[in-house]
Structures are given as C-alpha cells and as structure tokens.
Amino acid sequence: MENYIVLRRPQTSTNSLKRAANPLSSNMLTVERLPIQAVADLARDPEVLAVTQPMATALVRPVPSSAPAPATGDAWGIGSVQADQSPYTGAGVTVAVLDTGIDRSHPAFAGMNVIESDFTGEGNGDLDGHGTHCAGTIFGQDVNGRRIGVARGVSQALIGKVIGQHNANSDILFRGLQWAAQERANIISMSLGFDFPGEVERKVQAGWPVDLATSQALEIYRGNLRLLDSLMAMFKAQAAFNAAPLVIAAAGNESRRSVNRDYKIAASLPAAADGVISVGAAGVSGPLYEIADFSNSFPHVTAPGVDVLSAWPGGTLHSIGGTSMACPHVAGVAALWWERLREARAPQLAQAVSAHLTAQARRDCFTLGFDSSDFGHGLVTAPLA
C-alpha cells in the first residue's frame, strides 16, 4: 500500500455565506494509505475530484549574487516596481507565504501580526533563510533605514512552513494552501516547485529502470497537476463572495540562456497550474532590464529577481537572486493593488487584481533580444493613484 492524496467535492450547503466563510473544509483534502484497487475505485467515484501519490517538492533554489550588496540604499526592486511612488502600502491585506518559515524576531517584522503554522513536523522558525527573505521582500519593514519591503502596511502575515530540511512534498503544500484559504488569505505567495528530477532519481535508487522511473514520476506529476488545478478551481468559485485568494508562484530557475539562448524551460509546477500567476525574474541592464538567464519562460509577469536585498535570519540583510525573489515582489505589488481596488469597491478582488497586474505591466523596459515568451505581460508596477 502507498500514501495517496484524495481531494473530494465540497459538501453541498444551502448556506452560501457559510461556504464562502470556509472555502476549503478540512475533510475535503485527506492523505490515505490505500491498496491499488481502492485507488481505482476512488478514481471512478464522482465525489472524488483527484487522487494521486504525493510528489516531492523543493525550493526554487536561489542564485548567489553576482556582486556584494551595496552597504547603503534601498533594495533596487522597490523603485523598479514603483512601490516607492505608490500612495498604497497594502494596509488591510492578508498575505500568506508558503515557504521555509520565518525568523519572526527579525527587525523587518517588528510589530507585525505574524501567524505561523508548521506542516513539516520540524516546528516553526526558518532553518534555511529562504522564507524569511521572501517575506521581507513582500512586507518587511525598513532595516537600519533601508527599505526592503514592497507592501510595508500589510496587516497580517500567514506563514505556512511547507518546506523543511528533511520533509517536503505536495501533501504538505496542499495542506498549506488549504490552511491559507481557510485563514482567508487575500494573496498566497509560493517560491517552490515540484521536484520531478528528484522523483525520478528516487525511483532509480529504489531499483526502477530509468525509463519506468521516468514514466512513473510523470504520472505522479500529472496527478498532482490535476489536484492542484481542482484546488485552484475551488478558490476561483469563491470569487463571487470576494473570498478567493490570488495565488502567485515562481516560474522556476531551470533555463540556461547563458549557455545557449534557446535553452529555455517553460514555467513549472505549481506556477504552471490554472489560475496561478507565474513570475519570471529580471535584472538591471543600464537604464533597462534583461531577463535573467535562469528564468523559466512563458511567465505571466516579470519582477526584479537578481541581486535582491532582503531580510535574513539573525537580524541581517542578504542579497540573492532567482524567480523565488521575483515572486514576492509580485505578491507585494498585488497587495498594493488589492488595497487600491478594495477602496474602489471592485467586485471579485482576486480577479481584478490579477487583471491590473497584467494590464499595468511594462513591456517597453527590456533590452533587445527578449520577447513576451521571456517576460510575459511585462514588469509589474504598483498603483500610483
């Protein structure tokens, strides 16, 4: 028998407001140890939306900075997305970060309402630094007079620890998504990916032939995609109640443009799922921007993702790069748009914010040689009025 993730249809309720208040009930998503015949039976059950084995997940690993971080000044991405010119701060917006946790004692998070939930079994806190860095870019307060956060007025941060030192898989990620939705997150940021190569390698180490290991890993990957698509459809169904979260994810760092400009990989899961805003990474090139050589192609939008300065465990600041660092810039800008559109009483806020992120993105700021397959709709910008 093996462990399987099972996603069932929500129970029908005559109380639509109750459904909106609890968009993903706790009994809809379960992990069950099942024989293969039971899996086949569940797959035919009309009340079951998806059933799949869990797949390993991993960080979208950051890229070391190409140069030492400047000793003074704000993080360069703040001005690039025009957050420094925006009258909005993300006030009243709840943002969830699903990552390696957070060093909540860092000065960047002083005075914030930070709610932590550990899904890895390792306990709260950040043993890696990745989650702290991402959170700092989204809503971190100034540190020693240096601005690192795009949306410094975010009222509540939900920190779901879904990547541990020795424990990370799609079951944990899906439970983190479920928790964030139940806690009524407006925006969910994920700088992680499904570890398809690792899944193949584990099968090979267990004695599987390479071709069969690859086929099996592909089937698990497809099953997790179907389940994630179903989760996103559930989130979207809450839009009429303004309870749908906006989900943003890093596109991935697998491309190798520096080796060959054609060595580009499309955005990977979870960024490639329906309804998720995938984010590519850009760096500065004189007065313009260029797409990072590692940034996966066909993102929805692009954001600063090279030599990004943000919070690091121990109260320090640290500069790294990757689509992992671009994703929280978009989450921060989304929080600014959320505040702006909520004030304007826009209906279905998640969809409205998504539309403004893409419509207001800049396409005329990139160097020659890049096109929409590299930067999507363009570089995100904050609302200026």
What is the per-residue pLDDT across 72-115, written as a single tens digit (0 to 9) for each?
789 999 999 999 999 999 999 999 999 999 999 999 999 999 99
Which is the catalytic residue, given 80, 86, 99, 295?
A: 99
Residues 6+ apart with CB under 8 A from 277: 246, 247, 248, 249, 300, 301, 330, 334, 354, 357
Average pLDDT over residues 208-229: 96
Which is the catalytic residue, given 80, 297, 319, 324?
A: 324
What is residue 71's predicted lDDT score, i.e. its pLDDT?
A: 67
CA atoms within 13 A on the CB side of 133: 28
Structure tokens of 137?
Answer: 């870019």
State the chain's mean pLDDT as an integer. 93
Which is the catalytic residue, given 106, 130, 300, 318?
A: 130
The CA-to-CA distance between both ends of the chain, in Å, stands at 57
**Is 324 assigned a catalytic role?**
yes
What is the per-residue pLDDT across 242-274, written as a single tens digit (0 to 9) for each?
789 999 999 999 999 989 988 999 999 999 999
What is residue 64's predicted lDDT score, i.e. its pLDDT?
A: 81
Evaluate whether 5 touches 53 at the Cβ level (below 8 Å).
yes
Average pLDDT over residues 316-335: 98
Q: How many CB atoms lie within 10 A of CB 113?
A: 11
Q: Hey, which residues does 105 pair with through a beta bridge? A: none
Give me the phi and psi of 329, to 5 degrees please. Answer: -60, -45
Residues 6+ apart with CB under 8 A from 187: 93, 94, 95, 96, 245, 246, 247, 248, 331, 334, 335, 338, 353
Give the pTM.
0.94
Evaluate whether 178 touches 170 at the Cβ level (below 8 Å).
no
Does the structure show a pLDDT above 60 at 18?
A: no
| Lookup result for tokens 């099996």 | 216
Select 56-375's CATH number: 3.40.50.200, 3.30.450.20, 3.40.190.10, 3.20.20.10: 3.40.50.200
Does the structure show a pLDDT above 80 at 303?
A: yes
Residue 153 pLDDT level (bands cut at 50, 70, 90)? very high
Of 365, 364, 367, 331, residue with least CA distance to 350 = 331
CA distance 28 to 207: 35
What is residue 309's predicted lDDT score, i.e. its pLDDT?
A: 97
